[in-house]
Structure 1
Amino acid sequence: MKTRYIIYTLLALVVAFLIYNKFFSKGAKEKQTATAGKGKKKNGPVAVNVLVVKDTAVTNQIDITGTIDANEKVNLVSQTAGNITNIYFNEGSHVSKGQLLVKVYNQDLQASLQQIQAQIVLARDINRRNQILVQKEAISKEESETSQSSLNALQAQADVIKAQIARTEIRAPFSGIIGLRNVSPGGYLSPSTPIATLVNIDPAKVTFSVPERYLPLIKKGGKIIFTVESSRKNFSATVYAIEPSLDATSRTITVRAKAPNADNLLTAGAFAKINLTLDQIPKTIMVPTESVIPDIKSSKVYIYHNGKALAKDVKTDLRTDTKIQIVDGLASGDSVVVSGLIQIRPNAPLKILKVIK
């Protein structure tokens, strides 16, 4: 029985000590004082930086991606089948338009042509004599016409053989750089055998797509600036063709520009980073992006007015990396708050630390 009373007494003392330590000790009182001090509302002005807005000229630009294409590109093939007798180009070299590149066996055609040409010489002499004789009425007009018809038939046969011989000679359709060859002398060449690729990359074509909203701003003759991974140089190109219809999936329009490439720094198939200048806005207001507070229905900014924060709804449009265009809601000379926005509420007192002009 006494033991139980002793235990109860000890528990009561422990509880009493804990209550005293929490609420009545020196440390507890200091903590309460500090907490009460923090709970007091501060009514001092918020220190801010403001920007005095003014009308500025802005160039409307967008960054997009594109592809470098060759001005002309073709896979060389033969129009006839046969054994290759000669190859007249070096891989990776420059060739001129009309230059002979590959020749296929055509000795049989050459022999046939010589035979026809000999017959043409004889037929021409006969036809010339008949024309003289018909004028003297020594032969009939029908005989003269028959000789002329025979001559024309032989000449037509010669033209056919010449066309067949021309097919055995593969020539460059345009000037450019020829790639790696896939054939060898003595090999059999068929119309399905790829010989090599011929590429003309000066000028280079730059193909890219532009969103539909910018379509009215894209004009032939417009300039673009672009870069490629293989060079640190900035390249320029001129828009020369615009696709007449939009892509139904992406709602973009394809545009093509030409870029001079005399130094061969641009390679077909390369990835291009394009900076496209759309137009220039001569007079508008631009503010730092961080000064615009997005809202559910619109956007707003705070301006410094009579020592207090005045919230104003604004309408935005063009954006750059650091600024945003205000098309409605601000006037030149307004002081827009650009710092301390988290602490600001409508009509809160402000203290200007710095004025940005």
Structure 2
Amino acid sequence: MDTVVARKNRKNKYWILALPLFLFAGYAVYSAVTKKRSLVVHRGEVVIKTVEDDYFEDFLVFQAKVEPLNSMLLNVIEGGSVQEIFVENGDHVTQGQPLVKLYNPNTELGYMTQETSIIEQINNLNKGKLDLRNQELNLAKDLVAIEHDYQDAKTLYDLNQKLFKQEILAKNEWDKTAENFRFQKERKNIIEQSIRKEKQANQLQISQMSQSQGIMYKSLEILRKNKKNFLVTAPVSGRLSSFEPVLGKNYIAGETIGKIDVMKGYKLIADVDEFYLEKIAEGQKGSIDYKNKTLTVTVAKVIPEVKNGKFLVELNFNGADETDLRQGLSFGVRLTLSGKVKTLVLSKGSFYQETAGRWIFVVDGDKAVRRAIKTGRENPLYYEILGGLKAGEKVVTSSYADYKEVQELNIEK
């Protein structure tokens, strides 16, 4: 009789052998995922700073140049080529002093033509006024003759009226005398009315001609004054700057050839980064260091027009009239944006470029662990810490360019 032999289950045997391998692989994967990524750095490669509980002052530091408080541009009024130069850049000039002479033959010829035309019109108006006055004179002469005829007719009328009443004069002679007197009287009245109206009309015309002449005389005066504009003179007293005309060079009307700085006080001019446009306002106080003295300044004007990422700020000195300032000097201005506030602060460092203030490496012994933080305001020296750090903790503030994916730094000496 055959014996039945039970077949062994090799499948269970394989599972028993593979289970430890699966468990080991899973542990390796878990360890790789959960283990902090670390990096070994030398102590000399990093900068470590301490978080402090100190006063934070929101201020801004920028460079500014000294400029005269007031300046006036020198503009060419009548375009032309430079014929003569009387002064040099940097000279002190007085009001009305000749600076440069220009020449433009076409413009000058045009002035001469206009001047001739205006003088001719003035002469024509004078002739017209003279003709009107002669006309009035002739009318006056006619009136004298008519008045004489009227008086003769009236005298004869009075005489013949008496003779007619005495029946010495015939009726037909009296009628002729009366008719002639009536004619002379009406004639005299009509001529007198005509002369009065003529005089009124002439006076109106003469008045209008006089007004026209007045305008022409003013035009002639302006024209002759404009002819003098080829000579550029100093509008105010001061020092010439940016004045570099060249003999023979042609300048168009309205072009600037320099400016005059009125040497009565100074101001500071600065180009400030557009980031601070909303933070700077008129009236804010600042300071500069000059010859071992601290001079206070005030923001006088903010020009919000942004050019190449910069906007213009003007600052006035407070009581700095007695200082020996010079145009062109450059100063570092410390402008206060807010008062001092007690808070946590951290010295500025390169780490901010990679983290934007969202996290930092906090030093604990020979390790530095990554931690989330919250920053607030900043000034040229400090960041304001709003959360994530405590006073006395040490942090790495040098560049994190190589540590972006690292969770922990092992610091070796």
So what's the TM-score if we normalise by structure 2?
Answer: 0.46
Of 224, 228, 233, the residue aligned with 1:171 is 233
Name the structure 1 match of 2:281: 219
Of 235, 238, 258, the residue aligned with 1:197 is 258
Q: Give deviations 1:42-84, integer Å, cap 9, x for gaps.
A: xxxxxxxx97954x33222233345666653534424165996
Q: How many residues were matched structurally? A: 272
* Cα distance change of structure 1 residues 51 and 236 upon mapping to structure 2, 3 Å threshold: closer
Cα distance, 1:177 vs. partner?
A: 1.5
* Cα distance change of structure 1 residues 264 and 76 upon mapping to structure 2, 3 Å threshold: farther
Of 324, 331, 341, the residue aligned with 1:282 is 341
Cα distance, 1:329 vs. partner?
A: 3.7
Cα distance, 1:181 vs. partner?
A: 6.0
Q: Give deviations 1:218-269, integer Å, cap 9, x for gaps.
A: 11122344579xx88766543233344656x74xx613213458655122xx
* Cα distance change of structure 1 residues 226 and 87 upon mapping to structure 2, 3 Å threshold: same
Structure 1 contact 112–161 (Cα < 8 Å) conserved: no
Of 304, 309, 312, the residue aligned with 1:255 is 312
Q: Helix, strand or coil: the match of 2:393?
A: strand
Q: CA RMSD in A?
A: 5.8
Cα distance, 1:271 vs. partner?
A: 5.8
Aligned partners of 1:245, 1:91: CA distance in 2, in Å? 30
Of 47, 57, 61, the residue aligned with 2:59 is 61
Alignment of 1:81-120 (within 5 A): 92-96=90-94, 101=99
- The letter for the 1-side match of 2:199 is S
Name the structure 2 match of 1:74: 73
Aligned partners of 2:386, 2:237: CA distance in 1, in Å? 52
Cα distance, 1:166 vs. partner?
A: 2.2
* Cα distance change of structure 1 residues 120 and 279 upon mapping to structure 2, 3 Å threshold: farther
Of 299, 305, 309, the residue aligned with 1:239 is 299
Structure 1 contact 299–314 (Cα < 8 Å) conserved: yes
Query: Is there any run of 5+ residues in structure 1 with no aligned partner, and where?
Result: 1-49, 340-345, 347-357
Of 375, 392, 395, the residue aligned with 1:316 is 375
**Which stretch shifts more, 193-202 or 153-162?**
193-202
State, as a whole percentage, how many aligned pairs show the same letter: 17
From the CA coordinates, give the structure whose radius of gyration is larger.
2
**Which stretch shifts more, 218-227 or 155-164?**
218-227
Query: Is there any run of 5+ residues in structure 2 with no aligned partner, and where?
Result: 1-48, 141-191, 397-407, 409-413
* Cα distance change of structure 1 residues 217 and 155 upon mapping to structure 2, 3 Å threshold: same
Cα distance, 1:197 vs. partner?
A: 1.8
Structure 1 contact 181–195 (Cα < 8 Å) conserved: no
Structure 1 contact 81–189 (Cα < 8 Å) conserved: yes
The structure, 1 or 2, with the larger RCO (C-alpha pairs under 8 Å, 6+ apart) is 2
Cα distance, 1:208 vs. partner?
A: 1.3
Name the structure 2 match of 1:209: 272
Of 346, 355, 359, the residue aligned with 1:298 is 359
Aligned partners of 2:86, 2:118: CA distance in 1, in Å? 25
* Cα distance change of structure 1 residues 138 and 173 upon mapping to structure 2, 3 Å threshold: same
Q: Helix, strand or coil: the match of 2:55?
A: strand
Q: Helix, strand or coil: the match of 2:281?
A: coil
Task: Work out whether 1:144 is the aligned partner of 2:193.
Answer: no
Cα distance, 1:102 vs. partner?
A: 5.2
Aligned partners of 2:358, 2:344: CA distance in 1, in Å? 21
Q: Give deviations 1:283-308, integer Å, cap 9, x for gaps.
A: 21235569x9998961254689xxxx
Higher helix proportion (structure 1 or 2): 2
Q: Helix, strand or coil: the match of 1:142?
A: helix
Structure 1 contact 82–190 (Cα < 8 Å) conserved: yes
Cα distance, 1:206 vs. partner?
A: 0.7
* Cα distance change of structure 1 residues 89 and 321 upon mapping to structure 2, 3 Å threshold: closer
